[in-house]
Amino acid sequence: MIQNQSLKEKSLEEMIVSIQQGDKVAQNYLLKTYQPFIAKCVSEVCKRYIDPKKDDEFSIGLAAFNEAIMTYSADRGSSFLSFAKLVVKRKVIDYIRFMQKTPVSASLDENYDEEQMENASEIVAVKEIYQQQQEAWFRREEIAEFKEKLSEYKLTLTELTEVSPKHRDARDSAVRTARILYHDPELKAFVERKKKLPIKDLMKKVDVSKKTLERNRKYILAIFIVLNEDFIYLKDYLKGVGN
């Protein structure tokens, strides 16, 4: 009781630092206290009520929340709960996608008649439609999260459509610049902290004029956000671009 009282007096960030240093009591306290938060995150993905005692998805979410605790750093530029929500949702999405791709073993029962085979085909078709619907939902969720991240940088999707480079070479160059930003620890930390491009320092790393960097500033920042977050579908669009 005394331990819980002392834990309540600590801030969330202080508890996380303590847990990362090996405080098991604080870890168990946080995992128990934030179960409603975890259930809500999981429910948002599954679009249904999640029972912590029965649903496997909750166990995945709980493990993901624990992973978020152990890997969180305030230097990321976001609050712990925002970070944890993203980790939990991604892990549950990965779990659902894995389960959907797991093949259903066909029955080899000699009594498996033609009517049952037709029903099996219908089941496969329904599962395919369901998976397509889930994929569409995941994409919408990812776009919504992307829009939230853009707002942190004072950007909007509408702006991006207006400022995106028209020519492929210019787009490739902007993506390459964003990759350099993402892979350079100092430049990355600057962008995460200031929410803007370090144009002066960036010019030392890229063969691009200051005028071009300023013109493509918003687009480069948007690509950086995609690279810096766990956006499964948006990253697909960048495969092979700017490498």
pLDDT, tens digit, for every residue of 118-156?
Answer: 456 665 666 666 566 666 766 777 788 889 889 999 999
| Mean pLDDT on 190-201 | 93
Give 186's pLDDT tier (boundaries 50, 70, 90): very high
Encoding tokens for residue 54? 């029965």
Phi and psi torsions of 101, nearest 5°: -85, -10
116: confidence class by pLDDT, cuts 50, 70, 90: very low
CA 19, 194, 175 angle in degrees (round to 5)?
100
From CA 70, how far away is CA 52, in angstroms rounded?
A: 22
What distance in Å separates the CA atoms of residue 169 and residue 180, rounded to the nearest whole number? 17
Average pLDDT rounded to a whole number, residues 28-44: 91
Q: What is the mean pLDDT of the chain?
A: 82
Q: What is the pLDDT of residue 107?
A: 40
pLDDT of residue 105: 43
Residues carrying CATH 1.10.1740.10, the chain = 1-102
CA 225, CA 184: separation in Å to the nearest integer?
Answer: 14
In the chain, % of residues over pLDDT 90: 43
On the question of pLDDT at 115 being above 50, the answer is: no
What is the reported pLDDT for 2?
A: 40
Q: Which of 104-113, 184-193, 208-217 has the lowest mean pLDDT?
A: 104-113
- Cα-based angle 49, 127, 99 (whole degrees, multiple of 5): 65
Q: Name the amino acid, one letter, at 55.
A: D
d(CA 70, CA 67): 5
Q: Residue 100: count other Cβ atoms within 10 Å of its Cβ.
A: 13
Higher pLDDT, 77 or 61: 61
Between 114 and 214, the higher pLDDT residue: 214
Question: Confidence band (pLDDT; 50, 70, 90) for 3?
Answer: low
Q: What's the pLDDT at 19?
A: 94
Please give the pLDDT value at position 5.
54
pLDDT band for position 79 (cuts 50, 70, 90): confident
Average pLDDT over residues 1-9: 59
CA-CA distance, 145 to 85, in Å (whole number)?
A: 11
- Quick one: fold of 1-102? Rna Polymerase Sigma Factor; Chain: A (1.10.1740)
Has residue 59 got a pLDDT over 70? Answer: yes
22 CB burial (10 A radius; 0-12, 13-18, 19+):
exposed
Lowest mean per-residue pLDDT among 1-5, 49-53, 101-105: 1-5
Tokens 């991604």 found at: 90
> Quick one: which H or E segment has residue 206?
none
pLDDT surpassing 50 at residue 109: no
Dihedrals phi, psi of 78, to nearest 5 degrees: -130, 160
Q: What are phi and psi of 242, to 5 degrees?
A: 75, 20
- For 242: left if phi > 0, alpha if psi spans -120 to 50, otherwise beta; the answer is left
